[in-house]
Structure 1
Amino acid sequence: MCRETTFEQAAYVVCTVDPGQADIGVFHAGPDGGAYGSLDAFDQAMAARGRPVALAMNAGMYHEGLGPVGLLVEDGREVTPVETADGEGNFFLKPNGIFVIRDDGAAAVTETEKFRAGRPAVRFATQSGPMLVIDGQTHPRFLPDGTSRYTRNGVGVTESGSVVLAISLTEVSLGSFARLFRDALACPNALFLDGDISAFSNGRRTLLGGKHPVGPIIAVFAKQ
């Protein structure tokens, strides 16, 4: 499921998941309504409910208090609506986009405005930005290799429908990160999740990151 790889002299952990063979979801808060706040806390909460996590990753940006910036759908319930306003920061570097698990179990990454136009029925969704790859092209506002370098994580979906999660082990530019998804991971559409606070766990402990809080979380479980 997960492997280490190198692309353009940068190291990554890449996990490829078939939605037909595993359950993938987006999570934010526990039964008490409070945000999990960390991958470790989320993993422990899921284990206590008898549903151990196979892997988890932070999955979108958040406000002070850990509330999601944009759309969050958790198990069919819309927690926060789609955000279409303009603003500062990566989230608002449009086009931004939405990662979804539809009601039929299929995964997709789509531009926010395309999602709003079609408004598919989804079980899980998280909005973030910017899009990394849009219909096979990198984001039009990315420099080939800009000076902004951070640890970064993102999600893409292949032509065959597999979900690809990637996190860098070194600081990389958005341009190079986008090319990773397009050229090395064969994702015609991919979405930036976050930088600097990026974190990844194997369901037992946080392997990368974890020094900063997390808001939305993408998690993978054994198929039920």
Structure 2
Amino acid sequence: MAGLFALAACSDPPAGEPVVRSQLDGSQPKASPSAKATQATGGPSACRAVVFESVPLTHCIADPAKHRIGMANLGPDKQPFGSLLTFSGTVDASTIAFAINGGMYGDDLKPIGYYVENGERLKELNRENGEGNFYMKPNGVFFGSGGQWRVLGSNTFFETVGDRPQFGTQSGPLLLVDGKLHPDIQDDGPSRAIRNGVGVDASGKAHFVISGGPISFGQLARFYRDELKVSNALYLDGQVSSLWDPATGRQDEGRVGPIIVVTKREEAKAQ
């Protein structure tokens, strides 16, 4: 099965473009990476296909009772994985609920903003100004420890979070800020691209959404607000948005930097 639905094929964007990909000003981005079918591991998937305003989406849920969340960027050779395919070759697929690209990166495929992996802070919080989606303030941080996960604006994170989390990744812009669309995002602006994001609901579940067709920032934000009832949602990326769902065999072929990895808790696997 070639994923939950087919993604439009395109060539990978060249290195050096991650900060200034699809813009809110209406400029037209490239299409999405292609989806590839791999051997499915079977069992229930944490992801489901949905449609919102005629746009196909894949909605994946990380449940603290069933899953753990971590980050991955560098392989055993200390070089960036660069793709979900390469990453998948270093782990036992049966332990993975799903993995998805997780934040903006630079020419070297390393994060340009706050990044914590296995409790080690590898990149400081980035509060600088600049061009591109990452610098569209407020941007934000997705982070957590154990089964407690949150999305906060970068300034709020800086001012209120004292303890280093077990994982963290910074991206931007925030799609939703306290239940309202980012001030620079239109309800349904002209810019369309394959896009993905993350938000955490009131029960503590993390919702990852990746579109299967071009979607506006506003549509993605409103899906989080109206359908998922999320207060803060963070845009993760566009064009290269990629998902690996071992249960269904879906493995997108985009060029990625940081990877958010959702693994199965041992007690949940045993049930």
TM-score, scaled to structure 2: 0.77
Mapped to 1, the partners of 2:106 and 2:147 lie a distance apart of 29
- From 115, 122, 127, the equivalent of 1:84 is 127
CA distance in structure 2 between the aligned counterparts of 1:101 and 1:32, rounded to whole angstroms:
27
Query: Displacement of 1:32 after TM fit?
Result: 2.7
Cα RMSD for the two superposed structures: 1.6
Residue in 2 aligned with 1:215?
257
Match for 2:215: what amino acid? V
Distance 1:213 1:205 in 2: 21
Q: Which residue of 1 aligns with 2:112?
A: 69
| Distance (Å, rounded) in 1 between the aligned partners of 2:257 and 2:248 | 17
CA contact (8 A) 1:97 1:127 kept: yes
Is the partner of 1:167 in helix, strand or coil?
A: strand
Structure 2 unmatched ranges of 5 or more: 1-45, 267-271
CA distance in 2 between partners of 1:205 and 1:45 (Å): 19
Question: Which of residues 105, 111, 115 is equivalent to 2:153?
Answer: 111
Aligned partners of 1:40 and 1:205 also within 8 Å = no
Task: Find runs of 4+ consecutive structure 1 residues off by over 6 angstroms.
Answer: none
Rg larger in 1 or in 2? 2
Give the Cα separation in 2 of the matches to 1:83 and 1:140: 20
Alignment partner, residue 83 of structure 2: 38
Which runs of structure 2 are paired with 1:121-132 in the superposition (5 Å)?
121-132=164-175
Where do 1:170-189 residues align within 5 Å?
170-189=213-232
Q: Deviations over 1:33-59 (max 9, x none)?
A: 211111111111012xx8732211000
Contact 1:16-1:164 at 8 Å conserved across structures = yes
Give the direction of change, closer, same or farther, for the CA distance of 1:206–1:38 in structure 2 (3 Å limit). farther
Counterpart-to-counterpart distance in 2, 1:54 and 1:67: 24
Q: Which moved more, 1:187-196 or 1:112-121?
A: 112-121
Q: Matched residue of 1:69: which SS? A: coil
Quickly say closer, same or farther: Cα 1:218–1:206, change in 2 above 3 A: farther
SS in 1 for 2:82: coil
Tell me: CA distance 1:41–1:203, structure 2 relative to 1, closer, same or farther (3 Å).
Answer: farther
Measure how far apart 1:207 and its partner are. 2.7
1:208 Cα deviation after fit: 5.7
Q: Is the 8 A contact 1:98 1:111 kept in 2?
A: yes
* Contact 1:60–1:216 (Cα < 8 Å) also in 2: yes
Equivalent-residue separation in structure 2 for 1:18 and 1:206 (angstroms): 21
One-letter identity of the residue aligned with 1:74: E
8 Å contact 2:84–2:251 — kept in the other structure? no
Structure 2 residue aligned with 1:14: 59
* In structure 2, distance between residues paired with 1:137 and 1:184: 14
Which of 85, 88, 93 is the aligned partner of 2:136? 93
TM-score (ref. length: structure 1) = 0.93
Which stretches in structure 1 are left out of the alignment for 5+ residues? none
Are 2:105 and 2:257, in contact at CA under 8 Å, matched by a contact in 1? yes
Aligned to 2:47: 2
2:133–2:173 contact (8 Å) kept in structure 1: yes
1:139 equivalenced with 2:182 (yes/no): yes
Change (3 A) 1:182 1:208: farther
**In the alignment, residue 63 of structure 2 is paired with which amino acid?**
D
Q: How far apart are the structure 2 equivalents of 1:101 and 1:53?
A: 18
AA at the equivalent of 1:162 = K
